[in-house]
Amino acid sequence: MSKPSRTAYVSGVGMTDFGRHPDRSLTDLASEAVLEALGDAVVSPNELDAVYCGSAMAALVQGDTGVGQSVLMEIGITGIPVINVENACATGATALHLAWRDVAWGIHDVVLALGVDKAVMPKGTVLAAGTAQFEAQLGDIFPGTFALIANRHMSVYGTTAEQLAEVSVKNHDHGVLNEKAQFNKPVTLDEVLAAPMIAEPLTLFSCCPNSDGAAAAVVCSRDWLDRRGSRTAIRIAASVLSSGDYAPLRDMTVWDSEVRTAQLAYEAAGIGPDDLDLVELHDAFTISEIVHSEALGLCPPGEGGQLIASGATRLGGRVPVNPSGGLLARGHPPGATGLAQIYEIAKQLRGACGKRQIEGARIGLAQIMGGNKGNDAQACAIHILERLDTVHLN
């Protein structure tokens, strides 16, 4: 594969509160995030070259297949390419990857990546996502799948229920400090363990909530930054998107596709896991954070439970994981989550996160996976962002 001809930067980010927004439409939520991102980047709507709009659920739940065009029409952006994107939970990250690709290969100078979903379902509604798969009809749905992963990890590596629960406790503690998070209240270890069982050993507080919300990022070229004199942008040091290999007899405690994607991202950025100052990863379930931490090289395989118990991934620890609160506390509108991760990392690298600020944060990694097919994820996206003043500009 050819290498990009130039560097791309995140010059602006925007995000709504995540949570329950019964009186707000997809267009309304998305418009808020877009306008914040444009204002943050000091970009007027008519200066955009292209837009990628991600929504994982709009077609299924709201019956809307043209979300991007609806949003842009609302805020007066017309006459440019608008591409709607769906890639399960990796939808927002996929929109960002495509925006990065356009800028990095010299196709456009300023591209907007947007993600939005309304995933809080009306009472009595059953979400049918994924049920066309025969395995899902037999009960192999996400809570059950991750419960199997958790039980396997516990059996092979000695991971404990308490270590799993510590992930939720930590991320809810972080969510208390995030005014845009769905949950701003802490939970105790005992509360997590005693919560209603969803799929053993995963309790209610071991699972992320359904959420409504939107997030956006403006991606631009160095030429654009030079013309604007901006020095608030963040370099996209790596953007890697892959799918699984669906090997029939894989180890349930690791996704080979994620390990491969992480290696490619570290190679592209010229760093290793020890260089990271923070990580935002896909903690859809507590076991997810543990296995993803291992795949990303934050600790050796099998030691994710020990990593969380050590406090290394808390704010103030060696490598804070999910300082935003993650999916467990910040919430999870599937189409927006990947860009919400970018929002958090960009803010952290600028030093603009207030009480949850990681002092001296310079490099951050965002990881998210989407869907499940056979024995592997259908999509895995990893982005590495680096603070601009650490880059040797040409």
Say how far apart CA 340 and CA 116 lie, in whole Å: 10
Query: Which member of 21, 53, 89, 299 is catalytic?
Result: 89
Say how far apart CA 291 and CA 153 lie, in whole Å: 9
Those residues whose C-beta lies under 8 Å from the C-beta of residue 334, and which sit 6 or more positions away, are: 56, 57, 88, 89, 91, 117, 119, 370
- Please identify which residue in the block is written with the tokens 């929109």: 95
> How far is residue 346 from each of residues 117, 142, 201, measured CA to CA in Å?
21, 30, 35
Contact between 80 and 181 (Cβ < 8 Å) = no
Say how far apart CA 7 and CA 105 lie, in whole Å: 9
Q: What are phi and psi of 191, to 5 degrees?
A: -65, -40
Say how far apart CA 28 and CA 33 lie, in whole Å: 9
Active-site residue flag, 89: yes
Give the number of C-alpha atoms closer than 13 A to the C-alpha of residue 362, restricted to the C-beta side: 9
Q: Which two tokens stand for residue 356?
A: 């949850």
Query: Which member of 108, 153, 174, 332 is catalytic?
Result: 332
- Please identify which residue in the block is written with the tokens 């053993």: 200
Say how far apart CA 211 and CA 218 lie, in whole Å: 23
Those residues whose C-beta lies under 8 Å from the C-beta of residue 73, and which sit 6 or more positions away, are: none
Say how far apart CA 84 and CA 103 lie, in whole Å: 18
User: Kind of pairing, strands 110-118 and 82-85?
Assistant: unpaired
Active-site residue flag, 332: yes
Say how far apart CA 337 and CA 211 lie, in whole Å: 10
Contact between 220 and 109 (Cβ < 8 Å) = yes
Using the 8-state DSSP alphabet, how is residue 388 labeled?
Answer: G
22, amino acid identity: P
Q: Which residues are catalytic?
A: 89, 332
